[in-house]
Amino acid sequence: MAEIGKGVTAGKLAINVQKKFTRAQEKVMQKLGKADETRDTAFEETVTSFNKQMAEGTKLQRDMKAYVVAVKTMHEASRRLQDCLADMYEPEWFGKEEVDAMAEDTDMLWTDYHQKLTDESLSSMDTYLAQFPDIKARIAKRERKMVDFDSARHHFASIQKGKKKDEAKIAKAEEELGRAQKVFEELNVELQDELPALWDSRVGFYVNTFQNLAGYQDKFHKEMGKLSLNLNDVMTKLDEQRLAKKGGTAAGKTGDAGKSEGANHSSSTDSPPKRLGPPPSRPPARMTPSPDLRRDSDLYEDEDSDSNTASATATPQNAVTNGSDGELPPGFIYKVKAVHDYAATDGDELELKSGDVVLVIAFDNPDEQDDGWLMGVKESQWLQKRDIAAKGVFPENFTQKV
């Protein structure tokens, strides 16, 4: 017999197996109509609202990221256009210094706008969405504990109705019912308070997000509008200078032939017009632009969490992952990597730390699988012990495929 993995005892495994069997049996009885089921219509409506809110928030985050990427692209295009103008603008032309200064100012405006969107709007989105995975996991756990409560309730009722009254069994069944009821009600009360409050918070979050966005846009476009007017004025004066020179040359050719050559050359139209005062003060040196945003692979795909990308730095865990092919546990399906910490709250659950790699395996009985939950064993434990007994369930949305 294979050794039991670290931290797992034979008694604990037996309890977990029994729980799964009991839950599966209870679900079958409820589906067949042979056992009543605890239902809470009001709570089910709050869960529907929660799922809607999470989907809307995820879509808003995805669209906000797409908008920031578009701003970055426009910034780069604007910089190239301004650089092109500065390069071909000849030094003797009117407004050369002003044009160079406006190129610097334009680049700084784009950099500031992009930075505010990245540091404030996207950061706020990440904070808002970070609360959903934990609540979703607790909703799933509440469903499991509700099945446990129903099972304990039916077991206690059947013992009480038995022909032979065994007081010891009745007392034990009543104690198990009390424990199951307590766990379920604690989760239920917490979620009954949290879900409506979370639903109401969405209004304030949307108001704050779009007010800030509107403020950034208003400031950016006002300042950019001023620079555009200044550039238009410089171009107008440059054109006036060109026309003045052209007119002076024509007048020299068609003027009175009796005028001396010196008189012709003394015409004021041959000299460039005077500037209207010194150019504006130069802005500070150009800020180093922020790194290009990398378009995440989930930018155009629906994804439950946040949007966080894995670090490109290799870790010891990555090395383990790359070297385990061909030595996988029975029923292996694929690998996932934890992107959030998860504290196990039941004996059949896995404790996850961000970065843990888990080998996902099939459930022995597909009917035992709860929506949003996977069965697996940590790769590090599997490589050390080759023991499938260390497996457990964990929330899928705390992980991503690798």
pLDDT for the residue numbered 151: 86
The full set of domains in the chain, from first to last, is 42-255 (1.20.1270.60), 309-401 (2.30.30.40)
Contact 65, 118 (CB under 8 A): no
Low-confidence ranges of the chain (pLDDT < 50): 1-2, 256-323
What's the pLDDT tens digit per position in 183-220?
989 999 999 999 999 999 999 999 999 999 999 999 99
Task: Compute how many other C-beta atoms are within 10 angstroms of the C-beta atom of residue 10.
Answer: 10
pTM value?
0.53
**DSSP code of 121?**
I
Strand, helix or coil for residue 303: coil
Instruction: Provide the sign of the torsion angle of the four alpha carbons 104, 108, 111, 113, taken in this order.
Output: negative
Rounded CA gap, 36 and 72, in Å?
58
Contact 180, 154 (CB under 8 A): no
pLDDT for the residue numbered 307: 39
What's the pLDDT tens digit per position in 236-245?
999 998 888 8
pLDDT for the residue numbered 35: 64
pLDDT for the residue numbered 135: 94
pLDDT for the residue numbered 21: 66
Return the half-sphere exposure (C-beta side, CA atoms, 13 A cut-off) of residue 317.
20
CA dist 244 to 95, 254, 313, Å? Answer: 16, 16, 63
